[in-house]
Amino acid sequence: SFSTGDSSSGVGGAVVFSVGSSGSPTGGAIRLNGGSGSSSGGNIYLKPGSGTTGGSVYFVNPSTGANYGVISEDIIDFSGISTVSIDSSGTIDISSSTTLTISGSNGISFGGSYMFNYERGAGTVGT
- State the Cα–Cα distance between residues 22 and 115, nearest whole angstrom: 48
Sign of CA dihedral 31, 35, 40, 43: negative
Say whether 68 sits in a helix, a strand or coil: strand
Query: Please, are residues 44 and 36 in contact by the beta-carbon 8 Å criterion?
Result: no
Question: What pLDDT, on the 0 to 100 scale, is given for residue 125?
Answer: 63
The model scores a pTM over 0.85: no
Within the chain, which residues score under 50 in pLDDT?
none
**Entry field: residues in the chain:** 127
- State the Cα–Cα distance between residues 42 and 32, nearest whole angstrom: 11
DSSP code for 10: S
pLDDT digit string (tens) for 33-60? Answer: 888 888 888 888 888 877 778 888 999 9
Question: What pLDDT, on the 0 to 100 scale, is given for residue 31?
Answer: 82
